[in-house]
Structure 1
Amino acid sequence: MASLKENLRAVRARIDAAARAAGRDPGSVALLAVSKTWPAADVRALAALGQRDFGENRVQELLDKAAELADAGPRWHFVGQLQRNKAAAVARTGAVVHSLDRQPLATTLDRAGQEGGHPVDVLIQVDLGGPAGEVAARGGARPADVPALADAVAGAAGLRLRGLMAVAPRGADPRPAFDRLADLAGRVRADHPEAVDISAGMSGDLADAVAAGATIVRVGTALFGERPLPCGEFEEHQPRESQQ
């Protein structure tokens, strides 16, 4: 508990400093604690410290934690690639979906939102490409396809367009990618004023994301610690859910 409290204080201080350096109100940037692989007890502890927003990238883990922590009042976000056959289950948790990247998924989530009686809040995930402009492995709609997808989402009764989300390409300066995301977000917002959010930045690049206009930063390692992967390596955040 003491470690989580200190980590939360340190991360919030980093966000506040980044916002002030960019001439922004620190209150304009929300912290999303990416709690994937960490136990529900850690989520409960952070919730008790005032952290409200938590992100998961595996459907079953989201469902399990949402059920166990219903009394703790967290606001859930789903940040992994979402298969259509699991979309309704995610929608029933009330989670904000950060990874809408294609029209068929929008159609499925729209249906789930209408059947549940509550629109599903969604962000469109954008593929910012790799260092040489190639398609990134981290998922997302190509930038040229985003305006049409945004129009479709905004016109769907069961969806509520919140904005855009992206992950910076590996092996490159993140700031140009975040600037491209911010420019695209501005163009989407011109047609859809309600799409105010930019979900970008993680433990290692949150200052660049905030400087570019991020309103939500997704932080895992700096809060919870590093996550061991099966291969023995460590990674901050994998936004894609396995298709298997």
Structure 2
Amino acid sequence: MAAAKTGGAVGLNCVVDYDKRIEAVDAAISLAEARAGQRSARTRLIAVSKARVAADVRAAYEAGQRDFGENYLKEALAKMTALSDLDIVWHFIGAIQSNKTRDIARRFQWIHTVDRARIASRLDAAAERPLDVCVQVNVDAEPRKAGVAPSNLAALVAHIRELPRLRLRGLMAIPRADGDHRASFGTLRSLFDAHANAAGDHWDSLSMGMSDDFEIAIEEGATMVRIGTAIFGPRPTPARERVLA
């Protein structure tokens, strides 16, 4: 649970009280864990800070948040420089382009979106230390969405197991926006269980659930949830996001 400290920053239109927002998310996580019967392992809260300024991240940090997720490398690198005095754990949760694997491997502690053997190999070659990774699965077979098909998951898991600097931790998915999210999360949990024996000793993470469905995700077995709006407020306009990419 995020420790309660003083944290506030000027958001898009007003001062944001990150203490209260993070406390509210933590409380909702605890209730969902109780419904799921969890008694030990705590769900890891990742604050999705894409398209947010460094001051917002610093304020959330001061409110006790330590894990932050970024989608865009250029934007993330600028924040890392501005926030280098903080012991932030950075998670890459965006699409991985081949020409950006070097910086992603060396600047992030976690990568949630490995979905191709070639990308995994490039990350391994660039990594300078053990790198925690999750495989992104396209659980709803959406034609334009990233993620390995469930039928190809076993081969990708086997490939990553052979890469010495990648530590395979689990699976990640983003359900279809208009679909049955509980069913999608259940599918990912089933895939996680089915591949546990082949995946190795570090296989312990299910990254699923965002601001509008993280409680359902926890009930279905999530160990990490990726929360943006519930912490930082409404997202900036798409035009601003494109500039930050």
Q: Is the TM-score greater than 0.5?
A: yes
Q: Distance in 1 between matches of 2:212 and 2:161?
A: 32
The Cα shift of 1:46 comes to 1.4
Change (3 A) 1:231 1:72: closer
Change (3 A) 1:218 1:171: same
* Percent identity over paired residues: 39
1:204 alignment partner in structure 2: 212
Give per-residue Cα distances to partners, 1:40-95, cap 9 Å, x unaligned: 11111111222110000001011111121111111000000010110111111133
1:39 alignment partner in structure 2: 53
Letter of the aligned partner of 1:119 in structure 2? P
2:3 alignment partner in structure 1: none
| Residue among 110, 125, 136 paired with 1:125 | 136
TM-score under structure 2 length normalisation: 0.88
Change (3 A) 1:25 1:43: farther
| Residue among 166, 186, 191 paired with 1:184 | 191
1:16 alignment partner in structure 2: 30
1:238 alignment partner in structure 2: none
How do residues 1-244 of structure 1 correspond to structure 2 at under 5 angstroms?
Answer: 1=8, 3-25=17-39, 27-113=41-127, 116=128, 118-129=129-140, 134-191=141-198, 192-230=200-238
Letter of the aligned partner of 1:10 in structure 2? A
Secondary structure of the residue aligned to 2:195 is helix
Letter of the aligned partner of 2:185 in structure 1? F
Change (3 A) 1:70 1:231: closer
User: Which consecutive segments of 4 or more residues in structure 1 shift more than 3 A?
Assistant: none
Secondary structure of the residue aligned to 2:238 is coil
Give per-residue Cα distances to partners, 1:173-215, cap 9 Å, x unaligned: 2001100000101122222231110000001101110011000
The Cα shift of 1:137 comes to 3.2
Give per-residue Cα distances to partners, 1:4-39, cap 9 Å, x unaligned: 111100001011100001111374211000000111
Secondary structure of the residue aligned to 1:164 is strand
Contact 1:188 1:195 in 2 (8 A): no
Contact 2:51 2:236 in 1 (8 A): no
Aligned-CA RMSD value: 1.9
